[in-house]
Amino acid sequence: MTGHELLRLLGRRKRALILLGALALALGLLAGLDRLFPPSLARYEARSTLVLDREGGILRAFLTEDGKWRLHADPEGVDAGYLALLKAYEDRRFDLHGGIDPFALARAAAQWAVNGRIVSGASTLTMQAARLLDGGGHGPLAKLRQMARAVQLELRYPKDEILAIYLTLAPFGGNIEGARAASLAYFGKEPRELSLGQAALLVALPQSPEQRRPDRNLEAAREARDHVLATLLARGVLDARAVAEAREEAVPGLRRDLPFEAPRLAQALAARAAPGAEIRTAIDRGIESRLVELAAAEAPFLEREASLAIVVVENETKAVRGYLGGLAFDRPGGQLDGGLAVRSPGSTLKPFIYGLAFDTLGVHPETLIDDRPMLFGGYGPRNFDRDYQGTVRLADALRFSLNVPAVALLDGLGPARFAGALRQVGVSLVLPPSAEGPSLPIALGGVGISLRDLVTLYAGLGDGGSVGPLRFLEDEARNGRNGRRLMSPVAAYYVREALKESPAPNGFAAAALRARDVAFKTGTSYGFRDAWSIGVSPTYTVGVWVGRPDGSPRTDSTGRVSAAPLLLKVFDALPGETRKADAPPRELLAARSWRDLPRAMQRFEPQARVAGQRPGAAPPKIAFPPDGAVLSVADAGAPIALRVVGGVRPFRWLVNGELLPVQDYFASQSFVPDGPGFVELAVVDRDGRAAHVRVRLIEEAR
């Protein structure tokens, strides 16, 4: 090699090194700028909050903070044909380029040089996504900025995510942004199954959304759609027959409202979520639609000031499958959620009084009780029809919603103990402001509770006495059960069996109730303000409230007349039962009449006196063990002594709701505990008066 050739080779290497160094410097500079000035996805992430049904369909959408309908859309959520048209018309090499299409850029430059203007632009879908993120303009500097941002996006995100940015932010006229919002607003459907004409319209609108929006300029929208179709025909993307058929499709001239189902529930859930969240509820759209249809059919028969609410719950999962918080928003009080309103429940709490009585008072559905005028202290309840039935079975007293027997049982339980039992399973009663504590009028509706809480209790009745919180989200519904026991499965079975024989409202055959195995109860609050009906089938619990949002009276509106018919119509409209009726629990005491019961269970004598008679002996009180006592279990099989003072013999002792198997019923008694833990003790005297204590048994340290 000559010296001249060597110098020339060194020169080439030097120039190559300089070029590589410059390239590395440029790349480093670009990387540094990319790190210092990353693309902002703030607009893309500031989306409309969506409340969805259990399958992911929209129940209700909410405006963004800047007043836009901006619904997230991605390639998987839109029609494949629409995506093909979009790429073919806007960016044929989208899947190949790195944000900038050099062929389109060269073509645009040549056209500008020859014609002095841009004939066809070089903007790629990635550049448009960059412009939509930054909100930039259309000048040369803005184009350079979009090109730089487009390269950044391509380096940072996959193609589908870049498409999702465009599909979510593209303008479609007014405050509609994104293909999903546009499809719902103009076509009333999700963008997964667009026709060719609809897809072409969605391709055309973002280029000039205000001038072409079909609800303002129908002809301009049609011309823009047809231009897209003609262009793609000329490019060989579409055939003539398909284009001709697409041109025959009508262009929508009206803008539709976005979905607005379960609006009150959706609003409450959205208020607790982060902006832009997608909240998947447990609502079944089919059930929800049926509730809306039934309510619309019922509305003409209600005065304008009245409303109604319906809640449908799946017993096993506690999932809320249907929720109607009220009638139309334009009715008086229409924006109030009837499911949350605290109202007097009338007689709808009675089944739970009976259930707890079956567990703790040593009574049975066949036990006899007197329905006659009685005084409980100074309180003298009367039946709804002002009549009395004499001696009846407890099952019949519940079935016909007799007031005196319910108050008598609550008196035996203790109103505070009853309210406490409900509170322990998550349902708190709202007492009147003047009340010093729970009292006997609870049995007849002298307390406040919401439809949601009533349905919570009844769903537990349909789940063997296990009460759990209502589950409004589908994820919660799939995560299993965590209920707390309010009553035993035996007591829940007794109550359900009694309520299955409730008299059907006028116009409904009892056979219809038997077909679904529905047990239901009605209730009417003081002054005919609120009409209730709550029903339980093996699979579902349905609650219905009818009343006025302002709580004013509705003359002669009872649960049986106003709410029960609607309840049974809801059951008729529900999907088929997925569970069979529970078999009788093995522990239940089978009896065909009161004569088959142990003598101590044959009759319940209330802690009351017949009106006009003098009070009798003092009520019973458990002298030992005292309430709250902690007792040691020294040896297995060692008895625990029991003693009662007051009351009238014979006494019936119950341990955790089970009668002690003894032959005599005197003031002193004993029982052998199973082991350490909490024990509920109760004693009932001859007159049906009861006393209760709760003690804790611990193992004695050795």
- DSSP-derived secondary structure for 53-95: -TTS-EEEE---TTS-EE----GGGS-HHHHHHHHHHH-TTTT
Closest CA to 57 of 180, 151, 241, 216: 180
With 70 as the cut, is the pLDDT of residue 511 above it? no
Give the whole-angstrom CA distance, residue 374 versus residue 381: 7
**How sure is the predictor about 633, in pLDDT bands with cuts at 50, 70 and 90?**
confident
C-alpha distance across the termini of the chain, in Å: 104
Give the whole-angstrom CA distance, residue 238 versus residue 246: 11
With 80 as the cut, is the pLDDT of residue 26 above it? no
With 80 as the cut, is the pLDDT of residue 215 above it? yes
| Global pTM exceeds 0.85 | no
Instruction: Sort 310 into a burial class: Cβ within 10 Å, 0-12 / 13-18 / 19+.
Output: buried
Question: Which pLDDT score is estimated for 375?
Answer: 85
Q: Which of 513-517, 524-528, 574-578, 691-695 has the highest mean pLDDT?
A: 574-578
Residue 273 lies in a domain: no
* Residue 588: partners with Cβ closer than 8 Å, 6 or more residues away: 490, 493, 494
Residue 636 lies in a domain: yes
Closest CA to 516 of 315, 275, 268, 215: 315
Handedness of CA 436, 440, 442, 447 (dihedral sign): negative
Give the whole-angstrom CA distance, residue 537 versus residue 516: 6
Q: Residue 641: which CATH number?
A: 2.60.40.10
With 80 as the cut, is the pLDDT of residue 467 above it? yes
Residue percentage of the chain with pLDDT more than 90: 60
With 80 as the cut, is the pLDDT of residue 155 above it? yes
Is the domain of 301 the same as that of 223?
A: no
Residue 23 lies in a domain: yes
With 90 as the cut, is the pLDDT of residue 613 above it? no
Rounded to an integer, the average pLDDT of 2-27 is 55
Q: Residue 160: which CATH number?
A: 1.10.3810.10
Average predicted confidence (pLDDT) for the chain: 87
Residue 31 lies in a domain: yes
Is the domain of 426 the same as that of 512?
A: yes
Find the range with the poorest average confidence among 20-24, 491-495, 505-509.
20-24
Q: Which residues are catalytic?
A: 90, 347
* Residue 80: partners with Cβ closer than 8 Å, 6 or more residues away: none
Which residues face 532 on adjacent strands? 523, 545
Give the whole-angstrom CA distance, residue 436 versus residue 430: 12
Residue 48 CA: distances (Å) to CA of 276, 341, 473: 5, 28, 19
Give the whole-angstrom CA distance, residue 201 versus residue 212: 9
Host H or E run for residue 374:
strand 374-375
Handedness of CA 577, 579, 583, 585 (dihedral sign): negative
Residue 499 lies in a domain: yes
Question: Which pLDDT score is estimated for 16?
Answer: 52
Tokens matching residue 322:
């249907």
Give the whole-angstrom CA distance, residue 605 versus residue 376: 12
**How sure is the predictor about 504, in pLDDT bands with cuts at 50, 70 and 90?**
confident
**How sure is the predictor about 607, in pLDDT bands with cuts at 50, 70 and 90?**
confident
Rounded to an integer, the average pLDDT of 595-606 is 90
- In degrees, rounded to 5, the angle at the alpha carbon of residue 454 between the alpha carbons of residues 451 and 459 is 120
Strands (E), 108-263: 176-177
Question: Which pLDDT score is estimated for 119?
Answer: 43
With 90 as the cut, is the pLDDT of residue 528 above it? no
Residue 433 CA: distances (Å) to CA of 341, 430, 439, 448: 17, 9, 13, 11
With 90 as the cut, is the pLDDT of residue 473 above it? yes
Q: What are phi and psi of 92, to 5 degrees?
A: -65, -25
Is the domain of 13 the same as that of 114?
A: no
Find the range with the poorest average confidence among 279-283, 363-367, 479-483.
479-483
Is the domain of 31 the same as that of 91?
A: no
Rounded to an integer, the average pLDDT of 327-352 is 91
Residue 263 lies in a domain: no
Is the domain of 472 the same as that of 492?
A: yes
Question: Which pLDDT score is estimated for 11?
Answer: 64
Is the domain of 316 the same as that of 436?
A: yes
**How sure is the predictor about 390, in pLDDT bands with cuts at 50, 70 and 90?**
confident
Select from 560, 587, 612 the last residue of a domain.
612
The answer to whether the beta carbons of residues 616 and 609 sit under 8 Å apart is: yes
Number of structural domains found in the chain: 4
Rounded to an integer, the average pLDDT of 96-118 is 64
Instruction: Sort 405 into a burial class: Cβ within 10 Å, 0-12 / 13-18 / 19+.
Output: buried
Is the domain of 306 the same as that of 233?
A: no
Task: Summarize the chain as % helix, strand, coil (round to 5).
Answer: 40, 15, 45
Rounded to an integer, the average pLDDT of 2-7 is 61
Greater confidence (509 vs 473) lies with: 473
Greater confidence (37 vs 18) lies with: 37
Residue 54 lies in a domain: no
Tokens matching residue 158:
């996959």
Find the range with the poorest average confidence among 59-68, 186-195, 377-386.
377-386
Find the range with the poorest average confidence among 15-19, 186-190, 535-539.
15-19
Is the domain of 475 the same as that of 562?
A: yes
With 50 as the cut, is the pLDDT of residue 24 above it? no
Closest CA to 136 of 155, 150, 119: 150
**How sure is the predictor about 37, in pLDDT bands with cuts at 50, 70 and 90?**
low
Find the range with the poorest average confidence among 106-115, 491-500, 556-565.
106-115
260-302, pLDDT tens digit by residue?
Answer: 999 999 999 999 999 999 999 999 999 999 999 999 999 999 9
Q: Which amino acid is at 296?
A: A
Host H or E run for residue 133:
helix 125-134
Instruction: Sort 14 into a burial class: Cβ within 10 Å, 0-12 / 13-18 / 19+.
Output: exposed
Residue 216 lies in a domain: yes
**Residue span of the structural domain in which 123 resides:** 63-247
Is the domain of 520 the same as that of 644?
A: no
Select from 612, 631, 652 the last residue of a domain.
612
Is the domain of 195 the same as that of 344?
A: no
Coil vs helix vs strand at 588: coil
Question: Which pLDDT score is estimated for 27?
Answer: 42
With 60 as the cut, is the pLDDT of residue 185 above it? yes
**How sure is the predictor about 132, in pLDDT bands with cuts at 50, 70 and 90?**
very high
Is the domain of 659 the same as that of 593?
A: no
Select from 566, 594, 612 the last residue of a domain.
612
Give the whole-angstrom CA distance, residue 360 versus residue 450: 27
Q: Residue 389: which CATH number?
A: 3.40.710.10
Is the domain of 147 the same as that of 183?
A: yes
- In degrees, rounded to 5, the angle at the alpha carbon of residue 574 between the alpha carbons of residues 570 and 580 is 115
Local structure of residue 319 (DSSP, 8 states)? B
